[in-house]
Amino acid sequence: MADIKDRLKQLKKEREARSKSQIVRETWEEIEKSGNISTKDKLQRLINLTREEKTEKPKVPDFEALDREPLQFLENPYPLDVRYGKITISSGLNIKGDILSYLSNDDAFKSLDLSTALFIDLETTGLSGGTGVLPFLVGTGYYKDDRFYVAQFFLGDPAEEERMIHELGQFFSQMNFQSVVTFNGKAFDIPILETRFILHREPFLLNELPHLDFLFPARSLWKHKYESCRLYNLALEVVDVGRSEDIPSAEIPMRYFQYLQTGNFELIEPILYHNQEDILSLLGVVVEGALIFSEERKEEPSDAMDFFGAGKIMEKVGEVERSVQFFKRALDGELSDEISLLTKKKLSCHFKRGQEWEKAGLLWKEITSSNVTTLNQLFSFRELAMYLEHGEKEFKEARQVAEEGLACSIGLSTYYEEDFRHRLERLKRKIQKQREKK
């Protein structure tokens, strides 16, 4: 009987714990939606959840908060010959400045390499940004003394933020970094860190450095290939790294606030792992992205979809001839139907600008013969009809192409439908005049 009573008490405690955990989670979601409130206010709202209603005899708390270290500096060195997924850590040192300038669309990288770069990633008390968001973990990565270091500044006590910002400023200055590499850092990490430096009246040196935010080239390289361009997903797909024991980013702020209440560092350890993996994953995807542009790649070659992405990047930075080379290489491999049509369209536009009409015409014919009707196909019907009408003076052939284009455009594009109708009226008049002359 005693065992049954003990078991019932235990079950009751577990139900209460689950209920409280649910309340904390729901309240945290409300806090996140509430806008730009301070870290202190967020913490106070969570603390209020765990306070019992006042009774005549206050209950003794189940635990006493553990002591917290106000600020910790954690540093993990990786030898250059260590592999991370498909890459070797040393591979980052082989990326040339011209490739970094393409990826960043910044000529300042032409004289730089990653040996002097700072990789940086923040974990914060909120995901929306603003002055109320506190960066409690600043993860950095850098090459030094034949190692790649992942160094983390962890703020165990928000009251010590000024000290952390000061030490970060000294760290940036002493290391003499020449560039910054992030993933979505232009919109999130760097503005948040800059705000904290301004609040504590410290100079923010990183704003003066060339910045490669790899989110943007990653989208150009792989958005058409993978369902998601989140760093976690790219590490899995591109670098072939499976990250075990990881936690969702949305859970990180709540864990930090729970740590501030309890002092239980076990809540923080998964966050440190997550942040370290983000730094290594960032290095990995930068290396894999850069290797697409390298002629010296000795391992598995890039596939056609990667070459298409490289062509898009070259197109954006104005390297027209190199973009054409990549698009041609893409067509030599296996592409999805949609990407194949888009690649042919891009090449046809290039040939049209260079007045290489025969090459452009062949591509327009290939696109219009596709079984799938798309806007790219309608574009090619129009271009081919224009070329036959104005360039070759082949009015009958132009009319046939315009009629096919009109049939495909109905219900898909009013713009092209109206264009083909006007074109057909004009071609009928021209054909009639030809007959009259004969």
How far is 127 from 102, CA to CA, in rounded Å? 29
pLDDT in tens, 270-329: 999 999 999 999 999 999 999 999 876 555 567 999 999 999 999 999 999 999 999 999
What pLDDT score was predicted for residue 54? 44
Cβ neighbours of 211 (radius 10 Å): 20
Is a pLDDT exceeding 50 seen at residue 58? no
Q: Are strands 71-79 and 147-155 parallel, antiparallel or unpaired?
A: antiparallel
Which of these, 338, 339, 363, lies nearest to 349 by C-alpha position?
363
* 348: Cα within 13 Å, side-chain hemisphere: 24
Domain 336-437 part of CATH 1.25.40: yes
22's tokens: 């649910």
Q: What is the mean pLDDT of the chain?
A: 88
Residue with tokens 């992205």: 289
CB atoms under 10 Å from CB of 393, counted, come to 11
The answer on pLDDT for 438 being more than 90 is no
Q: Would you state the pLDDT for residue 216?
A: 97
CB atoms within 10 A of CB 58: 8
End-to-end CA distance of the chain: 113
**Predicted pLDDT at 231:** 95
pLDDT in tens, 347-383: 999 999 999 999 999 999 999 998 888 999 999 999 9
Q: What percent of the chain has pLDDT over 90?
A: 75
d(CA 150, CA 139): 7
Above pLDDT 70, what percent of the chain?
82
pLDDT value of residue 345: 96
pLDDT exceeds cutoff 90 at 436: no
Rg for the chain, CA atoms, rounded: 30
Higher pLDDT, 370 or 418: 418
Q: How many CA atoms lie within 13 A of 381 on its CB side?
A: 28
Structurally, what CATH architecture does the domain formed by 71-291 represent? 2-Layer Sandwich (3.30)
Q: How many CA atoms lie within 13 A of 296 on its CB side?
A: 7
pLDDT of residue 63: 45
Q: Rounded to 10 degrees, what is the CA torsion of 43, 230, 79, 94?
A: -140
**Chain-centre distance for alpha carbon 341:** 25
Residue ranges covered by each domain of the chain = 2-50, 71-291, 302-333, 336-437
CB atoms within 10 A of CB 385: 27
Residue 43 has pLDDT above 70, yes or no: no
